[in-house]
């Protein structure tokens, strides 16, 4: 019998395979796609801190470093600049290939073109049917935002996103744009340079087809260039599971809601969750010691769940506002003193940025007053 079966060879599945194999576990990974990294889902923007956590696969796949985030709305904009290259853009396909190589070198067997159809959790083992039947002591569920295969677990809440890779003129290779546009209802649009002559442009939309919305956005903004690749995927926005270990199964990555609902970025928290599970889940399965489970739950709660769920409370409110209400909030942010206090180490911890603004009186007074006026139809 195997030690672990991992469902899904995305970043979380592969990263947890590496952690488990490093600790001497026999691991297989089952992936339904035929090629690792393809189709590409993600923009690949991560912080330098996330890259440090992930390691070689992140540093080996950097295609661009950005120094500025430019927020655009209603013909206005504001910048967040950082003194050094703290935000990285990865070649997302290469990134997964490097994780795959690392896992394979450690002895993990990764099978592609194998869709898991059924999972049976028994008292002494898990049984996984992917055409062939596999048995293991434990299962790591890393199937992303796909419909859950386990009846006791809900599918994570997500919205559809669409992204084009475009070969064309790049205005500023060092800047990522975040655009609160009408076409990105329920989320935002983005533009991320991948080189001096290519960029990714995308958006998510909770109401209409993101492809229609993206085409409209590109036309309206007169974005020019040749589309060289098209990606779609679901952005998880529903917050983190309160607990992610259930008997012989651990949920990680998008499946566990380990994604920042403010931006849809899942690589940092997905890796963190995979690290916790990869290092502690094997010893939990040895004896089902409640102390080990307590350790897993408290680390996950402190470093992932509380942070993500604080972000989620704000993002749910913000993304559901009308365009006008969002603009009022963004105006207040621009005018708030707190904007100067945003620091590099908050890149993955948006709950700290939100707290800064909430605490800042000028933001809360102006923002709240405008919001109330807007609700009352006076704005």
Ligand X SMILES: Cc1cc2nc3c(=O)[nH]c(=O)nc-3n(C[C@H](O)[C@H](O)[C@H](O)COP(=O)(O)OP(=O)(O)OC[C@H]3O[C@@H](n4cnc5c(N)ncnc54)[C@H](O)[C@@H]3O)c2cc1C
Which residues of this chain interact with ligand X, rule CB under 6 A? 7-13, 30-33, 41-46, 115-116, 142-144, 146, 149, 161, 163, 202, 233-235, 253-254, 259, 264-267, 270
Could you tell me the smallest distance in angstroms from the CB atom of residue 319 to ligand X?
Answer: 15
Q: Between 249 and 338, whose beta carbon lies closer to ligand X?
A: 249
Query: In whole angstroms, how far apart are CA 366 and each of 19, 372, 373?
Result: 48, 10, 10
Asked whether 187 and 159 are in contact (CB, 8 A), the reply is: yes
Q: Between 89 and 329, whose beta carbon lies closer to ligand X?
A: 89
Could you tell me the smallest distance in angstroms from the CB atom of residue 356 to ligand X?
Answer: 22
Q: Between 110 and 338, whose beta carbon lies closer to ligand X?
A: 110
Within 8 A by CB and 6+ apart from 124, the residues are none
Could you tell me the smallest distance in angstroms from the CB atom of residue 325 to ligand X?
Answer: 25
Q: Between 116 and 329, whose beta carbon lies closer to ligand X?
A: 116
Could you tell me the smallest distance in angstroms from the CB atom of residue 74 to ligand X?
Answer: 24
Q: Between 227 and 372, whose beta carbon lies closer to ligand X?
A: 227
User: What six digits make up the tokens of 367?
Assistant: 């923002």
Tell which residue, 177, 178, 176, 183, has the closest CA to residue 219. Answer: 183
Tell which residue, 262, 265, 261, 257, has the closest CA to residue 240. Answer: 257
Q: How far apart are CA 205 and CA 211, in angstroms?
A: 9
Alpha helices, DSSP H, located in 123-232: 210-220
Alpha helices, DSSP H, located in 228-305: 267-287, 290-300
Asked whether 369 and 379 are in contact (CB, 8 A), the reply is: no
Could you tell me the smallest distance in angstroms from the CB atom of residue 67 to ligand X?
Answer: 16
Could you tell me the smallest distance in angstroms from the CB atom of residue 280 to ligand X?
Answer: 18
Q: Between 138 and 202, whose beta carbon lies closer to ligand X?
A: 202
């Amino acid at each position: 019998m195997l030690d672990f079966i991992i469902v899904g060879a995305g970043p979380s599945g592969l990263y947890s395979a590496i952690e488990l194999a490093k600790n001497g576990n026999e691991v297989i990974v089952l992936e339904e796609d035929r090629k690792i990294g393809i189709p590409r889902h993600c923009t690949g923007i991560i912080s330098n801190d996330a890259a440090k956590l992930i390691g070689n696969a992140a540093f080996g796949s950097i295609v661009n470093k950005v120094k500025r985030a430019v927020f655009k709305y209603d013909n206005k904009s504001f910048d967040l600049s950082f003194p050094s290259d703290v935000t990285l853009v990865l070649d997302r396909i290469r990134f997964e290939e490097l994780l795959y190589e690392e896992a394979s070198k450690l002895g993990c067997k990764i099978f592609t073109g194998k869709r898991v159809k059924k999972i049976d959790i028994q008292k002494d083992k898990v049984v996984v049917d992917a055409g062939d039947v596999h048995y293991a002591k434990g299962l790591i569920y890393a199937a992303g935002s796909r419909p859950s295969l386990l009846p006791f677990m809900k599918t994570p809440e997500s919205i559809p996103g669409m992204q084009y890779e475009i070969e064309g003129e790049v205005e500023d290779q060092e800047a990522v744009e975040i655009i609160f546009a009408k076409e990105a209802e329920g989320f935002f649009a983005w533009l991320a340079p991948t080189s001096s002559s290519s960029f990714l442009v995308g958006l998510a939309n909770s109401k209409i087809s993101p492809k229609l919305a993206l085409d409209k956005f590109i036309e309206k903004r007169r974005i020019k260039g040749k589309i060289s690749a098209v990606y779609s995927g679901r952005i998880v926005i529903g917050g983190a599971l309160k607990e992610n270990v259930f008997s012989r199964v651990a949920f990680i990555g998008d499946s566990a809601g380990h994604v920042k609902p403010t931006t849809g970025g899942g690589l940092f928290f997905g890796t963190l969750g995979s690290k916790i599970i990869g290092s502690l889940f094997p010893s939990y399965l040895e004896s089902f010691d409640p102390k080990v489970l307590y350790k897993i739950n408290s680390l996950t709660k402190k470093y992932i769940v509380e942070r993500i769920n604080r972000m989620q409370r704000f993002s749910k409110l913000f993304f559901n506002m009308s365009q006008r209400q969002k603009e009022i909030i963004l105006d207040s942010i621009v005018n708030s003193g707190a904007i100067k206090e945003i620091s590099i180490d908050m890149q993955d911890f948006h709950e700290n940025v939100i707290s800064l603004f909430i605490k800042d009186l000028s933001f809360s007074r102006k923002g709240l007053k405008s919001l109330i006026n807007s609700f009352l139809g006076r704005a």
